[in-house]
Structure 1
Amino acid sequence: MNRFPAPALMLGSVLSIQFGQAIGKQLAGTVGAAGVVALRLGLAAALLLLLHRPALPRSRTDIGVILGFGTAIAGMNLIYPALTLLPLGLASALQLLGPITLALLTSRRVLDAGCAVLAAGGVWLFYAPSGARFPLGGVLLALASGACMAAYLLLSKQAGTKSTGGGALALALAWAAALTVPLGMMQQGTHLLSPRILLTGLLVAVLSAVLPYSLELAAL
């Protein structure tokens, strides 16, 4: 992966996430938002733990980074309840305001700031001129997901400097799964274990978690 330039890796991540979220939005109609999150994070964590077999962190600092990283990943999944209230394009655009704001706040070059402003303008043009009204709850959930995405990017870079490979990501996803899977199981129970649901959930996990998170970690 490191043979590819960082912008190409990030573009691949964004594209993968959008396809995964589109499938997740459809799946939410069957198992609900909590069910989608449980499948997404639970299966993604299992795949990465099997792939990387990471050692447990030893220092308090490393433990804190992993827990914060995983909590941010769990918070990013607020996009799924938002998708039950908003169109996919609007929810995704609002979520991306988090990374765009982070880019503006941390920019050290005028060109970088200009690109972030253009991206923010594109988000506004995407839906604002239509005059349509959308549920405030969905908008707030998408924005909260975006804030968690900004925190995720900061913690992802920090976690990447503390470990090689995807061990830190695997542990963070395991913590995110521990925070979210019980809620999905309480709401949907054994319905999540049906073969068709599991297969679709695996596709969502790969497209919207395993692949994009791995690409972003390599890029950062």
Structure 2
Amino acid sequence: MLTKIPRRTLATCAVLISILSVQAGATFGKHLFPIVGAEGTTALRQGFAALILLAIFRPWQNGPARKDWGVLLLYAVIMGVMNLVFYMGIARVPLGIGVAIEFLGPLTVAVLTSRRAVDFIWIACAAAGLVILLPWHGGSGALDPVGVFWCACAAVCWGLYIIVGQRVSDRVHGGKAVALAMAITTVFTLPIGIATAGATLFSGSVLLWGIAVGILSSAIPYTLEMLALKHLPAKTFSLMMSLEPAAGAILAFLIVGEKLTLMQVVAIALVVTASAGSSLTARRATNEAAT
């Protein structure tokens, strides 16, 4: 039956499932924050995801060349720090807002690599969203400044992750690279998690939650995204990923009851618009250049 469905349609569905999966995983991770902290949750996510991805892609078979280990190690460190600081951020701010702030990283990379005048529109949209989100004032809608800071750090890491990840993808098989990177990040995130949570990190219920977070946040989305990228143009993929902040906000509301103010919803919408607009105009520019 699936063979009758166009590959691009299947790839589109894969991306949508990936978006829902990674945001659901982050939402489930919030259940673990009060028990083992963001650091312990990160360790569980990285550890279980590494085990699953290593079993799937078996990077020890035809693995990276010796000369490629340097950039792979850098890629792994960026990935690990990005996931750690993002979880530290969303432990203090709502998930949808945290994703919106983090999304400014790849958006900045996309805009900086283009010199078209229309990109200033998307810069303005993203900047407006950021201005609304920043904790300029107190009150019920104010965000934790420490949480905003950690999400901003995650944004920087995501931008670097894209730049370094492109270099890695040119040298190492995508699945093997992600599996090895996850294993490497576990080497330093696990000790941090143990130092933070202690023996609680290995209790039965916590491990079950950790497996769910690892599968939803990393194993499923990374695998689906790699499959989707084989059949979708990069710009189409980027456009669909723009839905992540909105998906995060909706799932966080449905699963853990996180509510947003009207202005925070507007801010998320501005970031989504900036990301989607940047992807759309970049795609059109590419098509025009090809003709």
TM exceeding 0.5: yes
Q: Is 1:36 matched with 2:44?
A: no
Separation in 2, partners of 1:69, 1:154: 9
**Structure 1 unaligned runs (5+)?**
none
1:31-70 alignment runs, 5 A limit? 31-55=36-60, 56-60=63-67, 62-70=68-76
TM-score if structure 2 supplies the norm length?
A: 0.65
Aligned residues: 217
Separation in 1, partners of 2:121, 2:47: 35
Instruction: Provide the aligned C-alpha RMSD in A.
Output: 2.9
Deviation by residue 1:121-145 (Cα, 9 ceiling, x = unmatched): 6844874699633232211110111
Distance 1:146 1:128, change over 3 A: closer
Q: Is 1:211 matched with 2:216?
A: no
Bigger radius of gyration: 2
Distance 1:40 1:103, change over 3 A: same
Structure 1 residue 105: deviation in Å?
1.1
The answer for the alignment partner of 2:79 in structure 1 is 73
Structure 1 residue 30: deviation in Å?
1.4
Match of 1:163 among 168, 172, 196: 172
Contact 2:135 2:145 in 1 (8 A): no
The answer for the alignment partner of 2:210 in structure 1 is 201
Structure 1 residue 75: deviation in Å?
1.4
Q: Percent identity?
A: 35
Distance 1:212 1:155, change over 3 A: farther
Distance 1:43 1:116, change over 3 A: farther
- 1:43 corresponds to which letter in structure 2? F
The answer for the alignment partner of 2:181 in structure 1 is 172
Deviation by residue 1:32-89 (Cα, 9 ceiling, x = unmatched): 11110010001111111111111343323x1012111111111112111112221222
Distance 1:53 1:80, change over 3 A: same
- 2:162 corresponds to which letter in structure 1? L
Separation in 1, partners of 2:13, 2:122: 17
Contact 1:96 1:146 in 2 (8 A): yes
- 1:92 corresponds to which letter in structure 2? V
Deviation by residue 1:137-195 (Cα, 9 ceiling, x = unmatched): 21111011111111222222322222335111111111111121111112223322222
Separation in 2, partners of 1:115, 1:14: 26
Contact 1:103 1:116 in 2 (8 A): no
Deviation by residue 1:192-213 (Cα, 9 ceiling, x = unmatched): 2222211111111111112223
- Secondary structure of the corresponding residue to residue 42 of structure 2: helix
- 1:27 corresponds to which letter in structure 2? L
Deviation by residue 1:94-130 (Cα, 9 ceiling, x = unmatched): 111111111111236667x378548626844874699
